[in-house]
Amino acid sequence: MSAKEVQRPGLVRAAQSGKITNLEGAAALGISVRQFRRLRRRFEAAGVPALLHQGRGRPSGRRLPETIRARVAKLLVGRYAGFNDCHLAEILREQEGLALSRASVQRIRTELGLEPKRKRRAPRHRRRREREARPGALVLVDASEHRWCEDRCDSFALLGAIDDATGTILGLVARPHEDLHGYASLLRHMIRTHGVPASLYGDRTNIFVRNDTHWTLEEELAGERSPTQGGRILRELGIGYIAARSPQAKGRIERFWGTLQDRFVSLLRLHKAVSLEDASHYLPAFITEFNRRFTVAPRDPAPAWRTAPRDLERHLTCEHTRIVAKDNTVTLGNRWIQIPRGPHGRSYAQRRVELLEHLDGSLLVRYRGAVLARQEAPGGSFTLRAQRSRPRPTPPTLSPLPEPSKNNHPPCGTRPGSKHPWRNSYLSIPLARAKD
């Protein structure tokens, strides 16, 4: 008997004994007088059990047909195994033509004894950071290395950028690992498609932030540390970088990776992706569908994007300082580039030049703003990597000092002769001249 039905026997008995009227009893139960009279007749005929709801224990008239329930149960353990309840409801509506709610899918999954994709934990108190008002004011960047194709291939990393104001995916790049080449490719796609953002918000990766404690002599004299190659790219493009000190500080993009590790993995299985290349081919379609489903309207529709610079490829480079060899060549790793003869047969040997390595692998040598030589990109795949301009100096090893002698003064050598200059004091020089 429910809490609503507990009061019925006492009120019906009171009405039968004449203590209250039918109108007062109906008002106390919140029903009509006619319904209260029906309850009195049922009570007189069958007692207290007759006051219970007559539909209890009977199947609902809106219950799903058994054929549909069996079909959904078969898909839950077969083709769509591993999908979460909300995502499966959307897929069933779009792919199978079954308009089921998330609660219906959850009930069928519970009846089958299947565990949920992600167990919900008790909520913890936290302060929510307000989204930026304008699109392009703040872009969240991060990388997630995961088994995106499950056991069909090795794990690889997805490098992503989402707009803080709208939650729109601005770009996704699949790479074997998180590296500078992936972030440079992500920046190029984002800037060409949307524009230059005001700031980036990411973690303290050494691609953008110096995490070492080493200072060179030039940095000590300048009073500031030189940026990384990624930090230099952001500085030249006029993009600020905010380094979070904990994953919770950038929780919005961390939840974004949780969504992708759920939905993207399931969709890659559905499309039978077995490699990083297959996942890269499916990324544009996934981004379009994700943005259509999850993008929110900004508080201020005026965009904060800036126009992309014309020499964008010039900024997306690794810049190195090199000394030209005597044969007028510059070396970078196992590659070298020949500098041609300058005006009037000029040689650039022993000159300090700037060597720029582009995202496609081409090289460019500059000296005082003038371009001295170019080299086309090498054949095959190329990965842009940050290389040190020079090796760090190692501290010299000091030899141990000799042990002092017993008389507490260093041992004496050979005594100089009587005519040695050390024997002649400067006071004796005028006396010797006076004798002469």
User: What is the value of pTM for the model shown?
Assistant: 0.69
CB 312 within 8 A of CB 191: yes
CB 208 within 8 A of CB 228: yes
Closest listed residue to residue 8, CA positions, set 39, 41, 33, 45: 39
Confidence (pLDDT) at 42: 84
Instruction: Give strand ranges (E) for 91-196.
Output: 139-146, 156-163, 169-175
In a 10 Å sphere around its CB, with 0-12 CB exposed, 13-18 middle and 19+ buried, how is residue 140 labelled?
Answer: buried
pLDDT for 240 beyond 80: yes
Backbone angles phi, psi at 356, to 5 degrees: -110, 125
Where is pLDDT greater, at 326 or 245?
326
Give the residues across from 171 on adjacent strands.
161
pLDDT for 329 beyond 50: yes
Confidence (pLDDT) at 134: 95
Domain ranges of the chain: 8-51, 66-111, 139-294, 316-375
Model pLDDT for residues 95-112, shown as the tens digit of each residue: 999 999 999 999 999 999
Backbone angles phi, psi at 114, to 5 degrees: -90, 140
**What's the rounded mean pLDDT across residues 203-220?**
90
Confidence (pLDDT) at 411: 52
pLDDT for 166 beyond 90: yes
Confidence (pLDDT) at 399: 54
Model pLDDT for residues 373-430, shown as the tens digit of each residue: 999 988 778 899 887 654 444 455 555 555 555 555 545 556 767 777 666 655 455 5
Lowest mean pLDDT across 11-25, 237-251, 259-273, 399-413:
399-413
**Mean pLDDT (the chain, rounded):** 87
Backbone angles phi, psi at 83, to 5 degrees: -80, 145
Model pLDDT for residues 40-74, shown as the tens digit of each residue: 888 888 888 777 777 777 777 788 889 999 999 99
Q: Answer left, alpha or beta for residue 111, where phi above 0 means left and psi between -120 and 50 means alpha.
A: alpha
CA distance 374 to 365: 6
Write the single-letter amino acid at 95: Q
| Percent of all residues in the chain with a pLDDT value above 70, rounded to a whole number | 89
CB 182 within 8 A of CB 159: yes
Inter-axis angle of helices 102-111 and 66-77, nearest 10: 80
Where is pLDDT greater, at 55 or 204?
204
pLDDT for 327 beyond 80: yes
CA distance 132 to 128: 12
Confidence (pLDDT) at 391: 42
Regarding the domain delimited by 139-294, which CATH topology (the fold level of the hierarchy) does it fall under?
Nucleotidyltransferase; domain 5 (3.30.420)
CB 40 within 8 A of CB 12: yes
